[in-house]
């Protein structure tokens, strides 16, 4: 009887760990970013997250719902395919004397974005910037 009482909390804890592990590794609304399994975009937050992840700008995306970006104003929305600051390592004077530099680089979007018949509305860019 005592054994059965300890089993249930253990199973519950294992299920919670697996569920939170899946959430932590989930990217956007699902998908793997591949041509036959694109990342799925359901929300304005997920759409904004694309612009914050330049390593994903060569991946595949599919809009799964209409997106209203009216809550993002000015520079709050992360524009996809813009200049980003990256860390680079450069040699200073000979081997073993590398230093870290911050550099602005333009990383274009080279993936695909399937609108899937949905609409992105209220995208406003800062003055002087075009997309």
Cβ atoms within 10 Å of 67's Cβ, excluding its own? 21
Better pLDDT: 46 or 94: 46
Q: pLDDT band for position 128 (50/70/90)?
A: low
DSSP 41-82: E-SHHHHHHHHT-GGGTTSEEEE-S-EE-TT--TT-S--TT-
Q: Domains of the chain: which residue ranges?
A: 2-121
Q: Report yes or no: 45 and 98 within 8 Å, Cβ to Cβ.
A: no
The three-class DSSP label of residue 12 is helix
Specify the pLDDT at position 73.
82
């Amino acid at each position: 009887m005592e054994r059965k009482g300890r089993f249930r909390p253990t199973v519950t804890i294992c299920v919670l760990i697996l569920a939170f592990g899946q959430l932590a590794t989930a990217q956007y609304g699902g998908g793997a970013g591949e041509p036959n399994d694109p990342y799925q975009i359901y929300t304005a937050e997920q759409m904004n997250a694309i612009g914050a992840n330049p390593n994903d700008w060569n991946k595949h995306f599919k809009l799964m719902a209409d997106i209203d970006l009216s809550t993002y104003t000015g520079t709050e929305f992360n524009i996809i395919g813009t200049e980003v600051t990256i860390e680079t390592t450069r040699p200073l004077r000979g081997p073993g004397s590398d230093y870290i530099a911050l550099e602005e680089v333009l990383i274009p979007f080279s993936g695909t974005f399937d609108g899937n018949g949905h609409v992105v509305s209220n995208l406003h860019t800062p003055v002087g910037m075009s997309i």
